[in-house]
Structure formats: structure tokens, C-alpha cells
Chains A and B, each alone.
Chain A
Amino acid sequence: MKFTLSWLNDHLATKATLDDILALMLKAGLEVEEVEDPREKLAAFTVCKVKEAKPHPDADKLRVCAVDTVDGEKQIVCGAPNARTGMTAIYAPLGAYIPGLDFALDKKARKIRGVESYGMMCSTRELEAGEDHDGIADLDASIPLGTPAAEALGLNDPVIDFEVTPNRPDWLGVQGIARDIAAAGGGRFVQVDIKKVSGNAECPVEIQLDAPEACPVFAGAVIVGVKNGPSPDWMQQRLKAVGIQPKSLLVDVTNYISLDRARPLHVYDAQKLSGPVVARLGKAGETLEALDGKTYKLSEDMCVIADDSGVIGLGGVMGGQSTAVSDETTEVFIESAWFDPLRTARTGRATGIHSDARYRFERGVDPHSCLDGLNMALALIVEYGGGTVSKPSVVGEPPVNPRKVTFYPADVERLTGLTVKQTEMRRILKDLEFVIEDAGDAWYLTPPTFRFDMEQSADIVEEIARLIGYDQLPTTSLPAPEGGVRAITTPMQARVRTTRRVMASRGFLETVSWSFMSKAHAALFGKIDESLTVANPVASDLDYMRPSILGNLAQAAQRAANHGERGVRLFEAGPIYLGDGPKDQRTVVAGLVRPYNERHWQGAPHTYDSYAAKADLFAVLESLGQPGDRFQVADPVLPQWHPGQAAALKLGPKVTVAHFGQLHPGVLKALGVDGPMFGFELNLNALPQMKAKATKTKPVLERIDLTPIRRDLAFVVDQAVPAGDLVRFAQGADKKLISQAEVFDVYEGTGVPEGQKSVAFELTLQPREKMKDEDIQALMDKVVAAVAKGTGGVLRG
């Protein structure tokens, strides 16, 4: 919302400077966004008098002027055709910045065709004060020497732009702004009287209200014999200053009152109306060609204004083309009605129309302002356009006043920590036009009808606190909580923290990628769930909530590779979405590697592969106190993984904790990235909760003095049997004694039958008491039997 300082002063008697006003606005909660003060911009420029202008000796188009300025008499070389002796002009001293040319004059006098020039005389365009550039500004001779240029050009009115919060539609009028600035201590609020010009004749246009829930009150009047010429200069200047292009008296008056009083109006060419004007609900199939030239389909939910010809306007949103005023209009019907905010907002959203009227009505217009707004319009139109006014016709009743608010003065200190005298509270509430019934501990307050945000005591506390100033409130550090401070993170948050550090320490770069991905790509990761589709995506390829982070990581890795990055390792700890319920979100950590085989003088180092991905995953699991050997390695169950070179990590048959290995080459191709890529995705929610221990004390160390016994075993087994099964069955033979089993060789070829393989592993036995050779042998026999039973493997001789 923009307004000018002089406009504000219509409603505010004050000695405050611009800076004071800005500070008071800030204090009261009117957040100033921009101030344009022409006085500041033009501070360097003052009025001068040209004593003599004579031709330049060496240039036909230049004149050498002797100029009386605030700096004394100056010689100025001027190229303007209108420079003449006796002229009153605008003087720019040496060094001045010329805004319209965007450069500063030299600080030293400059020779122009051999004649020194000590400054410049400016056109209005050079001062960004007008469009005139045919010559220098030619001012009224009565303006004294040294007058600031802004004043001389009538540009001494700063424009202030500020943010109107949705709770304060009354700030959409300059009057409302002035009221709050006065209450904040900025002067006296001036109630500007409205002249009544109404005539004796009844309003010739009949008003009917068929939908009082949408439009409960409607005031209207007709002026006959009006001339719709340009509006007065002062009105045009104010409208232009706040960015509104003047059109004609009738239109400008409605815009002006909307800005001055937050009171939208609409004007109809009364000769284009047929029959009564009706405010009713729309009917299916109806359309309106609105003032913006577009045709809108109307619905039964919208409040429309209609006459015998059909719909002629969308109530509180926009008028129609068929009854619009024009330069030829001589009879005007003025509408000053009140439209329901919610319905106006819905209509605005449905039609997509953004108008000043909608903006005001959906936030709330004072329902009691219909007649005042109408009278103000009548007075202004008749003053500048003439004509004969009818009696205003007011149909319906404004909606019931806002209910009374019970305010407990003690709440001010309870909620803000500040002690405020009751006389001060009373002063503020009166300035804000509340009516106070004092009942001791509780006050019953009637808010003014232009306020829609007053419901309970806390609302009043804010009014008092802000107008006293938040800087007056105490500043008190939060006391330590009762019972002291405890650990602040949940076990899940702790998992994320640990995981991130393990991944970064293993060479991975942390990313934060969109929670979105394209639906087409999401389909590569499993069945599409329509409830995860974003109905209004910011971009067409960000229209689905990701079921996996790997797609985003793969594309990021490809981008990095395109920039010449070799051996990209990325990870992200973040959400994935399995459905739209509050429990369908999972926190996962995904790692992705686009390998690069670095050369090395000792020979190629081991390349990143599915086993390396497994190592990274297991390092994370280990750090979370969940060593990888607790889990079973099984075939992948998700389609983004290579069916033969990736695996699911399971906890029992039902719970899948993670996947790791190589990503499916087909999926990568569909994502538009080059493979191979490897990685893992670990669902941190699927990991078992660690039981909270009753005590932090660790059990006593049970030292084992007996040295471990190590035995190598090799089995020949069917090629399809996972080596992990051999190890698992071997260990299962005696879980207490066998502390470890590590595969060190897998062999297929000569000496091993076709379709079979030899798997060799080292068993580590950790005896608790001395073992004899025959005990060890008996255990080995048990291992061989267990492996044979479980896998069909035969001990290799």
C-alpha cells in the first residue's frame, strides 16, 4: 500500500517529520518497504535566475549564461534552446548527481568549446520530475532564488510503501493509517467531514437484495447531467504518486475513495442499465464480460450484480463491460455495497481476478461505510463534474456489529511482562476508537466496525503493547528449565547425526535434494501412488513425492560428471514417502557412487563395486550399533536395483532394512544418466530400536586368556548357494565357540566339478576352557555336518 505524506496529513495533524512518521509506522506494525522522497533525490538542486544569456562565441547552439545561484553568480554554458535572459530555472552545482542522466557533474569547471561552465541548468526529465526535455525547466518568475527544486516543481511529497498485514484491511485506506500513527503518538487524528450533496428526488434505480448472506447492504444514488472529464490535478497527482493511472473523473473518484477510506465503490452508466439492479447469486451457465475485457463463467456460489439484461458485475470483485462508464457518460449510478469476505475470496480465487475491490472486500470492508462512501463520491463528482444528485437509496442492513471483547487489563503484564498504567491503556483504546465499559478486573470493549481482528483479551494486549512499543518490554533470558537440561535428540535424530558423519568420513559429499521428483521417474522405483502427486507442482518434473533418494542422487552425480568431476560420491539423509499419511514418511540415508578407476603406479587399485557399497552400508550399520551380520542378504525386492548385482538386507522374512549394490542399468538409462552406479539406501526407521539400558555402568570385563584357535575349511557346493549360507550354517554349529568365520577364497574351475564352486573360509574358535585335539575335531565334524545339511556342501579333501 502506497500513500504520500501530504495525503496522510489530510487525516493527521502532526509536526512529525518523515523520519518520525516512518519510525512510528514501524512501532505500530506497519512495515515500511520503500520510501521515495523526491526532496532527498533533488536536495542538490535549487532555483536560479538567469541574469544574461548570450550566444557562445564558437557554437551556434550553445549559450553562455550569467546565472544568480545560491552559490553566487556562476557562468554556465547551456545547450537548451529556451535559455534566455531573465529566466527562472533549476541550478545543478558542480559535482551534483543528475538522476535522469545517471551521472555526476565533474567537481571542477569544464571548458565547453573553450568557455568554462560552472554547473548546469536542468530539464524536468533530467531531474526525473517530468517528461519535458525540449529545454530546461522554465519556472514561474515569482519563485525566489534558492528555493529547493522539489518544492519549486511541486514534488515535495514523499511516497511511502508498506506491507498491509491480512488482519488490517483498514490500513488499505490512508485514514486508517493515520489513525494508528496518531495512536502511536504521531499527532492528532483528524476526522475529515463528508459534505452531503444529495438532492430531493428518489433514486431512479431500484436496488434489490436477493442474497442477503452475500450482499446484506447496498447504497446507491444517481447523478444526472454529469460531465465525465479528467479529474482535478490534485487527485491525479495523488493517484499517480501511488502508481495509479488517472482515467476519468468517475473512475478516479472511486479509486481515490478506495485508497483514502478503504471503501470500494462501483460506477455504472445509468443509461445502460435496464430495470432494477439486483444483488443475487449467480446461476449456472451465466457469464460476464468484465472490465478487464475477459469473459468469466459464473457459478451459483458467486455474488453477482444483475439487471434485466443479465449479469452486469461480480459483486466486490469487478464490474462488467456492458454498463461501464465512458467519456460520454452523463448519468451515473454509484454502488456502495458490502460483500461477504469469504464469498468474495472464493469468487476471486475461482475467477483468478485480482482487483483492488476484491483485495479489500476479502479482507473486510467496514460494513457501516456504505453511506459515507457514497456521499463522499457524490460530493467529489458533483464538485468536479457537476450534475443533479438523487437521494441515496440504502437497502438492507449492515451485518451485526462485531461482538464485545472481554479484556482483562491484568493480561497486559501477564503476557508481555510490562506494567502499563490503566490510564495509558484507556488512552490507546480510545485512540483506536474502541468503546470501553469498565467493570473493574474486566473491561467490555466494543471494537470499531472497521476492525475484524478483535476477538479476545490477547488481541487487546497486542494493541496496547505495540502502541507503547515492543522496545519498552523487558528483555529476560529464559530461566533454566525445572529439573535441568537433558539429551535433546530422539534416538532417530541421533542415528541421522551419526550416519552423516560416517558417510562424510568415508568420502561422501552430503546433498540436500528436492523431496520431489518427476512422476515418470518415480515409476521406475515402484508402483505410483496417486496420493503422492503434487496437484500444483512448481515445475512439471517436480510433481511427485520421492519414493527413494537415489533418483535425485543419480541425476546429481551425472551433472557433476558432466562438469568433469570423476569418482562422484554423494549421500543424503532425508525423507522418502510411501503414502500421504503422517506415518508414511521414512527417514533414509542413501549413498551413491559413480565410480572412476584411478590409475596408480602400483597397479590399478580396487574399483568401487557392489561389495564396496556393502562395506559403506555396513560401516553405517556398525556405527549405529547394528553390525551387518545381524541381517540376511537376499535378492533385491525393488526395481531400481540390478537383479544380479544388488541385494536386500533383511531382518527376518518381512522387514527389509536396506538395499545395496549396483543400480539397474535400465533405470539409470531412463533417468538419463550413464552407468554403472552403485550405492545403498538404508531405512533408518526399519532398524530395531536399541533398548534403553537401565544403567550406564558397563558389565565387568571378562578377560579370556586362552588363545583363539583357527582352522581353514573348504567346501564344494552348488554354484547357486550363497557363500553367506555356508558361513551361517558353519557358525550355527556352535554359536558360543565359533566367534568368527571369514571367507578367503572362492574358486571355480579345474578340480571343481562343473556347476559347483569351492568356498574356503577361516573359522575362529574362542575356547572358554582348554580344548583337547579330539574336542576340536569333534567340533569340526559338527561344522561339516551342519554345512552339508544346510547347503549340500561337501568338505574338500
Chain B
Amino acid sequence: MSDINTIETEALASIESAGDLGALEDIRVAELGKKGRVSGLMKQLGGMSPEERKEMGPKLNALKTRVDDAIRTRKEMLEAAALEAQLASEKVDLSLPPAPGPKAGALHPVMQVFEEIAAIFGDMGFTVAEGPDMEDDWHNFTALNFPEGHPARETHDTFFMKAQEGDDPKVLRTHTSPVQIRSMMTQQPPIRIIVPGRVYRNDWDATHTPMFHQVEGLVIEKNTHMGHLKGCLIDFVKAFFEVDEVEARFRPHFFPFTEPSAEMDVKYTRKGETIEIGAGDSWMEILGSGMVHPNVLRNCGIDPKEYQGFAFGMGVDRLAMLKYGMPDLRPYFEADPQWTRHYGFAPWATPSVSGGLS
């Protein structure tokens, strides 16, 4: 059967030299198609004697398998080459810019610092309370033990709303302390709250803006004393400025709604443009505080013989400046994109005590 050998040699050679998938398909038809040469040989099996068939059958089947395999192998190779050629032709310049989307957004530092403060006090068991910006005189002053007509009221540079007929004028709250009153009027002790919010004073210069931000704190329990006030606020300052030690001092001061009252100073060092809080050669006042005045407790229906506690208030804009180095207060309220991108925080920055504040 020299035919078999010849056909095989010829077929394999032509498969090997097939230049593309079309040529290969032609070869497949010419060899293995219905009228193909290999198929022709297979057809001859029918006319053979059983002995011949026994001998030729396996040979022809083997031939068919080898040709078939060769075609498949060649096909895979040609397909790979074709894909390679196609991909090469599809090359694009990926150094070009993608379609533009919005630039990165940013969170305002004051709002972020509110959350930092809440995270620290939250860890000490405080919850966050809020109240209205427009207050009546009673909540903003009288209930907080500011006697009517007393000069202590004048130190607040209060904004008044236009009085409505027959009513006393409302005020824009000059501090977040009225929320102490609102909380004590509606909540039974023990109380631990902080109150972040906007406050207003009629004063506008390099270091004052007519609107600014405070966080108020209030603790009303049975045995909380001024030592706790000191401990709590020193713990806070350490956590907020993310330093291990803070040298702090408390000085007597006067606030109508606390007795005894204290201002807290911390040591700091100025190094060029930056301020390091905790140690150094100068003192900086950072907040006011004191034991809640018995008159305030009574005004809220709480018996000062049974309950006592402390309150504090701090200027958030200034705390943010000290921590993050903003040199000036005024741009806080100017919505300048350059400033916000520079001093702002990434959208995913979420302060927590366990994960770090900043």
C-alpha cells in the first residue's frame, strides 16, 4: 500500500505548509472530506476480503487520525498567529487621558474635627445632642444663671432677631450651652452629652467671625467632681492632639453657669509655622469649664443635693487651627476650593478612636 504512505507524506507536508485557515480547510476537505483522498481509501475497505480488511483497517484508521491531528495542531497554531496579528493591529495609546470626571472632593476641617471630638467623647460614654440656633433669652441666658441686665450678658455680643409683636426678641445662640438646658429639661440623669454646633457673636476681625463653632459638654451624675473634670479634659486633649503627654493647668475664671469655674491652658511650642501642643515654654487657653451651677440644675428641675457634674465648652475652629495648622480663621467660611482641597479631608477619612482620628 504505497498509496497510504504517499498520501500521508503529501498530506502532512501540505498541512505543514498551509498558510492560513482557509488553505487548511481546503486541505481538510481534500483529504478527509467526503470526496477526499483518505476518505476514498476508507471507502475501499468495503470491497476488501476480511483478511485484507483486518490488515488495512487499522492502518487506514491510523492514517486518518494522524492527518486529523496534524490539521488540528496546524489550526491551533494558525489561530494563535491570527489572534496575535489581530491584537497587534488593535494597539491603542494608553498614555492618553481617560474621559474627565469630577476632581476629588473634600470634607471641611471643622466638620471633620466635630467628628473627631465626638469619637473621643463617644468612647467615654457621651452621646451627641443638638439644639436650635435661634434661641429665646431664657435658654441662652436666664436658665444659665445670667442675671437679667447683668454685664455678663454684654460680654457675649449677642445678635438679636427682630422682635415679633408682644414677644421678647429671639437671640442667635451665643454658645452651645442652651442645649445643656434643653437636655436637662427632657432627660433624667445620669447625663453625658456633647453638643456640637454653630454659635453667633456680633464681632468680626482677624480672630473673630460672626459665626463660629463650639462643642459643649455636660456630665450630670451623683458623684462626679472637679477632679473628674480635670481628668476628662486632659484625657480629651491628649486624644485630640494625638500626643502621649499634655502639660495642662486649670485656672479659676467666671462663667455664670458654673461654680467653681475654670479655664484650661495647655503648654505648647511654636516651631516656625507649626504649633506643637503638650509641652513647651508657653501656655495657651483652650477651653472653659466648671461644675454645673446649682441654680442651673434647679432651673432644670434637678436637685443639686442629689446630682452634680461638670460642663465645658470649646471653640472648634481654633482647635482645628491648632491641630492642623490653618493660620487664619476667616477662610473657613469662604468656600475657597483651593483652601478646602488643601486643608480638607478625603471622603473616606472617618475618625475613630480605634482606627485613629486622623
Residues in chain A within 8 A of chain B (CB atoms): 26-29, 31, 165-168, 341-342, 345-346, 349, 362-363, 413-418, 455-459, 461-462, 465-466, 470-471, 473-478, 480-482, 484-490, 492-493, 497, 500-516, 530-539, 542, 545, 552-553, 556-557, 559-560, 563, 565, 567-571, 573-575, 577, 580-585, 598, 600-602, 605
Give Cα A542 to B204, complex, Å. Answer: 12
Q: Is the CB of B227 within 8 A of A473?
A: yes
B155, B235, B262: which has the most chain A beta carbons within 10 Å?
B262
- Our pick among A28, A166, A458, A482 for the contact of B150 (Cβ within 8 Å) is A166
Report chain A residues within 8 Å CB of B101: 507
Q: Which residues of B contact A26 (CB under 8 A)?
A: 251
Which one of A165, A552, A560 contacts B254 once the chains associate, using CB atoms below 8 Å?
A165
Residues of A within 8 A of B152 (CB): 166-167
Whether A478 touches B232, Cβ cut-off 8 Å, given contacts A458-B293, A488-B127, is yes
Q: What is the CB-to-nearest-CB distance from B192 to chain A, in angstroms, rounded to a whole number?
A: 6
Residues of B contacting A485 with CB < 8 Å?
A: 122-125
Supposing A473-B226, A530-B162, A532-B161 touch, asked if A560 and B336 sit within 8 A by C-beta, the answer is yes
What is the distance, in angstroms, from A683's C-beta to the closest C-beta of chain B? 16
25 A-B pairs (CB sep. < 8 Å): A413-B225, A414-B225, A415-B291, A415-B308, A458-B304, A461-B259, A462-B252, A470-B262, A473-B226, A473-B250, A475-B234, A476-B231, A478-B125, A485-B123, A489-B118, A507-B101, A507-B104, A510-B107, A514-B211, A538-B203, A556-B334, A559-B335, A567-B103, A600-B100, A601-B96
Chain A residues contacting B347 (CB-CB under 8 Å) are: 501-502, 504-505
Q: Are B161 and A580 in contact (CB under 8 A)?
A: yes
Would you call B200 an interface residue if the criterion is a C-beta within 8 Å of the partner chain's C-beta atoms? yes
B-chain residues with CB within 8 Å of residue A513 when the two chains form the complex: 333, 335
Assembled-state Cα–Cα distance A531/B149 (Å): 23
Q: In the complex, what residues of B have CB within 8 A of residue A462's CB?
A: 252, 259-261
- B47: interface (CB < 8 Å): no
Complex interface: chain A residues within 8 A of B203 (CB): 538
Q: Least Cβ distance of A413 to chain B in Å?
A: 8
Beta-carbon contact of B231 and A488 below 8 Å: no
In the bound complex, how far is the Cα of B164 from the Cα of A530, in angstroms? 8
Q: CB-nearest residue of chain A relative to B139?
A: A582
Report A-chain residues with C-beta under 8 Å of the C-beta of B45: none
Hey, which chain B residues are within 8 Å of A567, CB to CB?
A: 102-103
Question: Hey, which chain B residues are within 8 Å of A534, CB to CB?
Answer: 159-162, 172
Does A500 lie within 8 Å of B308, measured CB to CB?
no
Distance in angstroms between the alpha carbons of A557 and B102 in the assembled complex? 15
Query: Residues of A contacting B75 with CB < 8 Å?
Result: none
Known: A458-B259, A475-B234, A531-B161. A493 touches B130 (CB 8 A): yes
Q: How far is the CB of B209 from chain A (nearest CB, A)?
A: 9
A416 to B250, CA, bound (A): 13
Whether the pair A497, B340 counts as a contact (CB closer than 8 A) is no
- Which residue in chain A gives the minimum CB-CB distance to B332? A512
Known: A505-B347, A580-B161, A582-B131. A478 touches B105 (CB 8 A): no
Distance in angstroms from B176 CB to nearest chain A CB is 13
B161 close to A345 (CB less than 8 A)? no
Q: Is the CB of A31 within 8 A of B227?
A: no
A166 touches B155 (CB 8 A): yes
Specify the chain A residue showing the minimal Cβ separation from B224. A478
Nearest A-chain residue to B293, judged by Cβ: A458
Q: Separation in Å of the A353 CB from the closest CB of chain B?
A: 14
Beyond contacts A473-B230, A534-B160: 16 other A-B pairs, Cβ-Cβ < 8 A, are: A341-B149, A416-B225, A458-B294, A471-B250, A475-B227, A485-B124, A489-B128, A500-B111, A509-B106, A509-B344, A511-B335, A515-B198, A515-B211, A532-B161, A535-B159, A563-B338
Residue of A nearest to B196 (CB): A493
User: From A418, which residue of chain B is reached at the shortest CB distance?
Assistant: B227
Chain A residues in 8 Å Cβ range of B107? 500-501, 504, 510
B267 touches A (CB below 8 Å): no
Report yes or no: A600 in contact with B231, Cβ–Cβ below 8 A.
no
- Does B126 belong to the interface (CB within 8 Å)? yes
The chain A residue sitting closest to B255, CB to CB, is A165
- Interface centre among B162, B235, B252, B304, by most chain A C-beta atoms within 10 angstroms, is B252
Q: Is B225's CB under 8 angstroms from A415's CB? A: yes
The answer to the question of B64 belonging to the interface, with a C-beta cut-off of 8 Å to chain A, is no
Q: Is B323 interfacial (CB 8 A cutoff)?
A: no
**Chain B contacts to A: CB under 8 angstroms:** 96-97, 99-108, 110-111, 115, 118, 121-128, 130-135, 148-152, 154-155, 159-164, 169-170, 172, 190, 192, 198, 200, 202-204, 210-211, 219, 224-228, 230-232, 234-235, 249-254, 259-263, 291, 293-295, 304, 308, 332-338, 340-341, 344, 346-348, 350
- In the complex formed, the residue of A with least CB distance to B234 is A475
Interface core residue of A27, A363, A509, A598 (most chain B CB under 10 Å): A509
In the assembled complex, the Cα of A556 lies from the Cα of B331 at a distance in Å of 12
A478 touches B231 (CB 8 A): yes
A28 to B251 alpha-carbon distance, docked (Å): 8
With contacts A506-B102, A516-B211 known, is A477 near B231, CB below 8 A?
yes
Enumerate chain B residues within 8 angstroms of A532, measured Cβ to Cβ: 161
Find out whether the CB atom of B252 lies under 8 angstroms from the CB atom of A470: yes
A515 touches B335 (CB 8 A): no
A504 touching B105, Cβ below 8 Å: yes
Please tell me if the beta carbons of B149 and A516 are within 8 angstroms of each other in the complex.
no
C-alpha gap A504/B340 in the complex (Å): 11
**Residue picked from B105, B333, B340, most chain A C-beta under 10 Å:** B105
A475 touches which of B104, B110, B231, B334 (Cβ 8 Å) = B231
Contacts of B172 in A (CB 8 A): 515, 534
Q: Given A415-B260, A505-B348, check contact A512 B110 (CB 8 Å).
A: yes
Q: Top 5 nearest A-B pairs by Cβ distance?
A: A507-B102, A29-B252, A417-B227, A481-B125, A165-B254
Chain A proximity of B321: nearest CB distance (Å): 14
Contacts of A466 on B, CB cut-off 8 Å? 252, 260
Q: B326 → chain A, closest Cβ, in Å?
A: 13
Residues in B with CB closer than 8 Å to A492 are: 130
Q: How far is the CB of B226 from chain A (nearest CB, A)?
A: 4
Given A345-B149, A501-B348, A515-B211, also A31-B251 (CB < 8 A)? yes
Q: For A28, what are the chain B residues with a Cβ–Cβ distance below 8 Å? A: 252
What chain B residues lie within 8 Å of A497 (beta carbons)? 115
Out of A341, A458, A533, A600, which one reaches B291, CB within 8 Å? A458
Least Cβ–Cβ distance between A82 and chain B, in angstroms: 43
Residues of A within 8 A of B225 (CB): 413-417, 476
B315, chain A: closest CB distance, angstroms: 14
Kindly list chain A residues whose C-beta atoms are within 8 Å of the C-beta of B308.
414-415
Q: Decide: A166 and B151 in contact? CB cutoff 8 A.
A: yes
| A512 engages B111 (CB within 8 Å) | yes
Please give the distance in Å from A488's CB to the nearest CB on chain B. Answer: 4
Select the residue from B190, B337, B350 with max chain A CB neighbours within 10 A: B337
Cα-based distance from A405 to B265 in the complex (angstroms): 32
B192 surroundings in chain A (CB, below 8 A): 481
Residues of A within 8 A of B198 (CB): 515, 574-575
Which residue of A165, A484, A501, A502 contacts B253 across the interface (Cβ within 8 Å)?
A165
Chain B residues whose C-beta falls within 8 Å of the C-beta of A507 in the assembled complex: 101-105
Report the minimum CB–CB distance from A596 to chain B (whole Å): 10
Chain B positions within 8 Å of A417 at CB level: 225-228
Residue of A31, A488, A557 ringed by the most chain B CB atoms within 10 A: A488
Instruction: Kindly list chain A residues whose C-beta atoms are within 8 Å of the C-beta of B149.
Output: 341-342, 345-346
B contact residues around A560 at 8 Å (CB): 335-337
Tell which of A418, A480, A533, A565 touches B125, judged by Cβ atoms closer than 8 Å: A480
* CB-defined contacts of B291 to chain A, threshold 8 Å: 415-416, 458
Chain A residues within an 8 Å CB radius of B335: 509, 511-513, 552-553, 556-557, 559-560, 570
List residues of chain A with CB within 8 A of the CB of B163: 535
- Whether the Cβ atoms of A510 and B164 lie closer than 8 Å is no
Per the bound structure, the CA–CA distance linking A582 and B190 in Å amounts to 25
- A504-B347, A585-B132, A601-B96 given; A510·B111 CB < 8 A: yes
